[in-house]
């Protein structure tokens, strides 16, 4: 378990070097702050954290795909471009889900009887 924890910490350190991941982490802090200011329900906070963790995991996998692709195909390759585009699409889909969740939670905080 210690080795696995070390590998995970190494992955987190590597992922932190990605600007997109830092932006996603900042977005979580801003969303949770906004939820706190608006009196959003606890389930909204929990959902945002769960979605952030899913986003972080997909971002990590996308970064891994990019690293492997760059190593295996340092010159331009249509297949490498497709792999990177697909990883980016996966992250984009989850970012959209995060945005929909944030809007729903904020809407429910201001709309009686919702949530």
Instruction: Point out the residues that are catalytic.
Output: 59
Tokens 């919702």 belong to residue: 114
> Which of 26, 60, 41 lies closest to 101, judged by CA?
41
Q: DSSP state, 95?
A: H
What distance lies between CA 95 and its chain's CA centroid? 7
Residue pair 87/55 in contact (Cβ under 8 Å)? The answer is: no
Instruction: With CA atoms as reference, report the closest residue to 24 among 95, 81, 93, 89.
Output: 95
């Amino acid at each position: 378990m210690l080795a696995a924890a070390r590998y995970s910490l190494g992955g987190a350190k590597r992922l932190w070097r990605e600007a997109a991941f830092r932006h996603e982490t900042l977005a979580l802090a801003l969303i949770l702050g906004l939820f706190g200011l608006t009196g959003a329900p606890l389930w909204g906070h929990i959902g945002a954290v769960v979605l952030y963790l899913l986003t972080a995991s997909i971002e990590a996998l996308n970064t891994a795909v990019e690293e492997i692709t760059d190593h295996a195909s340092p010159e331009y390759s249509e297949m490498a471009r497709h792999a990177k585009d697909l990883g980016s699409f996966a992250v984009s889909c989850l970012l959209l889900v995060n945005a929909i969740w944030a809007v729903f939670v904020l809407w429910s905080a201001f709309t009686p009887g919702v949530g």
